[in-house]
Structure 1
Amino acid sequence: MDNGGLQAVLPTGASFLTTPNIDHLVLPVESLVGARKRWQELGFTVAPDAFHPFGTSNACVFFSDGTYLEPLAVQDEALAGQSITAGNCFVEKDRTFRQAGAREGFSAFVLRSTDAVTDDERFRQSGISAGNRLDFSRTVVDENGSASVASFRLAFADLDSSSFFAFTCQRVNAALPTAGPSVEHRNGALGLGALFLATEGSRGIENLATMLGVHVQEKDHKYVFPLGNCDVEVAMEIAPELDHTPRYPTGLRGIGIRFRVRNIAETRSVLQEASIPHQSSGERLIIAPAQGQGCIVEFVQA
């Protein structure tokens, strides 16, 4: 597949007058206890456990740039199964990921949206809809212990992969923390820098291009989609020592996440203090996946 082929499938029109931004990343884990331990060892502040009304739970890591990580566990298998039967695309995709052979990993990115209804219509018209839109509400507790009800709308895009998916998220009345203790991290993390995906063939990349609607850049055997707050890089070739994901026949899969930090020396000190094995490459620190952290983590100086 060449760059011209990708450019040919990029949609045009008012939907893409602004460059999309990453909202958050979905990281399936076996347990929130293990995930919390690992991400705290890496120097991140982890929010209290929260629960979805469809059988899953999370323990999020928030950043001052308005993005966050969502380590995701299955809290109630029976309820999750009922939700899938009822057409819940989020839980269905999570189960598909887990059943494909990955106990933990990086399963999805989520775009920030102001109108998930329109997103859903666009995906359907473009032939990349992955299923029904999901509208739901849940109780959230802020840093002061005050509880409120937050509502969300999600629209799903099909990336033709059993190991990776994507959707948009409209926060109907749910604010994200961008200041305060919840976004202050010992490792100095400020937010996302890049997302690393990989595939052995072209499968799913056209759908990804259609969903993102940005001009793709081709370099060094990879395609780079520059978003407003983060790059999405899709490698067509990846060094075996860096690829810790289960082997799938074809299709996109999540490999790793790059974080921007305020001081790389400060970050290195945190890793050394916790005895976290890591590689150094210039101004980058690279950590292989471990229990509770299902993908590569990379830190770079902001």
Structure 2
Amino acid sequence: MAHHLTGLDHTLLATADLEAARETWRKLGFTLTPRGRHVGWATGNYCIMFPRNYVELLGIAEPGGFTAGLEEMLATRGEGVHKVVLGTDDAVQARASLVAAGFAPSEPQSLSRALELPEGTVMPAFTLVHLPPEATPQLSMFICQHLTPELVRRPDWLLHPNGAERLAGVVVVVDDPVALEQPYERLLGAGNAIRTDRMLTVRAGNETILFVTPDDLDTLFPDLDHAEKPTPYVAGMRFRVHNPAAAAAFFAASGADHVLSLDGTVLVPAAAAHGCFLEFTSRA
């Protein structure tokens, strides 16, 4: 990939009740990290870790403090994935490359969070680079470098009872996917935005961002009832599993709301996952 970018690093799923979201995702068969608290902010999180990427459940831990816009996002758009984050192996070099290519990224920003472990609190650290809206149209994105990956990727946190092996991509609903082809090729490199009729598949490393129209969302996922929302929005996340039937069996045994599609994928509706449907597939 271009500009020292490595793929999808994580998604940020905003939730109005962080502890309730933790319990929901635990019942869906995900292993969650202990709670984290962003240093100097009023937000906290639980993470679902995979070897290369993860899902962050983000909520407000202290009402009235700095939330980086989370309160406003929840008030205007409700729960769901509000940001998709690109990974980098070198945030400083990534920013320099982006500037040389004519982008206007922010200066690198340091971020740490207190991770509450039984043996004591540790401090995972990150460097962030924020991207202007015109660099990632119809999708809010920034860049993240992990400075202490060993603190957040313990082996027992990477094993999930539902069989999920990695976050494989996201599904984003927009009015005109085709119009996004050139901006995302400019950011991620030539050949990484692939048009199919009205849909656009953007490759970010081993993961994909699928841009679809509201009509195509209904066509691709007819087994789900899709609530009408103002575009753009992230409708779903896709997870790679070795055996979707085993994932379906787990959900059936746990009583989790799910659908086994005719194509063999397993779907959890957005209402059962705090605002974003989940797809479990062996093809991703």
Note whether the superposition's TM-score is higher than 0.5.
Answer: yes
TM-score tier (shorter): 0.7 to 0.9
8 Å CA contact 2:16–2:74 kept in 1: the answer is: no
Corresponding position of 2:209? 232
Q: 1:247 to 1:151 in 2, by over 3 A?
A: same
Corresponding position of 2:188? 212
Q: 1:174 to 1:18 in 2, by over 3 A?
A: closer
Post-superposition shift, 1:173? 3.0
Distance in 2 (CA, whole Å) between partners of 1:296 and 1:191 is 16
Post-superposition shift, 1:141? 4.6
Corresponding position of 2:274? 293
Corresponding position of 1:157? 131
Q: 1:226 to 1:272 in 2, by over 3 A?
A: same
Q: 1:198 to 1:176 in 2, by over 3 A?
A: farther
Post-superposition shift, 1:76? 2.5
Per mean C-alpha deviation after superposition, the further-off stretch among 237-246 and 186-195 is 237-246
8 Å CA contact 1:287–1:297 kept in 2: the answer is: yes
Distance in 2 (CA, whole Å) between partners of 1:72 and 1:261 is 24
For the pair 1:62 / 2:49, whether they are aligned, the reply is: yes
Per mean C-alpha deviation after superposition, the further-off stretch among 29-38 and 287-296 is 287-296
Q: 1:71 aligns with which of 57, 70, 73?
A: 57
Distance in 1 (CA, whole Å) between partners of 2:104 and 2:235 is 24
Per mean C-alpha deviation after superposition, the further-off stretch among 30-39 and 275-284 is 275-284
For the pair 1:50 / 2:36, whether they are aligned, the reply is: yes
Corresponding position of 1:12? none
Corresponding position of 1:188? 163
Post-superposition shift, 1:205? 5.8
Name the aligned partner's letter for residue 82 of structure 2: S
Q: 1:138 to 1:119 in 2, by over 3 A?
A: same
For the pair 1:39 / 2:25, whether they are aligned, the reply is: yes
Q: 1:102 aligns with which of 77, 101, 108?
A: 77
TM-score of the pair, normalised by structure 2: 0.83
Distance in 2 (CA, whole Å) between partners of 1:55 and 1:221 is 41
Distance in 2 (CA, whole Å) between partners of 1:159 and 1:204 is 12
8 Å CA contact 2:35–2:116 kept in 1: the answer is: no
- Number of residue pairs matched? 272
Q: 1:207 to 1:244 in 2, by over 3 A?
A: farther
8 Å CA contact 1:191–1:259 kept in 2: the answer is: yes
Q: 1:136 to 1:256 in 2, by over 3 A?
A: same
Classify the secondary structure of the residue corresponding to 2:92: helix
8 Å CA contact 1:22–1:111 kept in 2: the answer is: yes
Deviation readout 1:149-169 (Å, 9 max, x if unpaired): 322110112335898411111
8 Å CA contact 2:137–2:183 kept in 1: the answer is: no
RCO greater where, 1 or 2, for CA within 8 Å and sep 6 or more? 1
| 1:77-116 to 2 correspondences below 5 Å | 77-80=63-66, 91-92=68-69, 94-99=70-75, 101-116=76-91
Distance in 2 (CA, whole Å) between partners of 1:167 and 1:155 is 6
Q: 1:107 to 1:77 in 2, by over 3 A?
A: same
Name the aligned partner's letter for residue 169 of structure 1: C
Unaligned runs of 5+ in 2: 219-223
Name the aligned partner's letter for residue 114 of structure 1: D
Post-superposition shift, 1:243? 3.7
* Identity between Structure 1 and Structure 2 (%): 22
Q: 2:145 aligns with which of 152, 163, 170?
A: 170
Q: 1:255 to 1:206 in 2, by over 3 A?
A: farther
8 Å CA contact 2:257–2:272 kept in 1: the answer is: no
Distance in 2 (CA, whole Å) between partners of 1:271 and 1:129 is 45
Measured on the aligned residues, the alpha-carbon RMSD in Å equals 2.9
More strand, by proportion? 2
Q: 1:179 to 1:30 in 2, by over 3 A?
A: same
Per mean C-alpha deviation after superposition, the further-off stretch among 123-132 and 280-289 is 123-132
Corresponding position of 1:27? 13
Deviation readout 1:182-233 (Å, 9 max, x if unpaired): 1111111111222111210367665444332352111142111123221111
Name the aligned partner's letter for residue 42 of structure 1: L
Q: 1:137 aligns with which of 112, 126, 131?
A: 112
Post-superposition shift, 1:19? 6.4
8 Å CA contact 2:95–2:105 kept in 1: the answer is: no
Post-superposition shift, 1:49? 1.2
Name the aligned partner's letter for residue 243 of structure 2: N
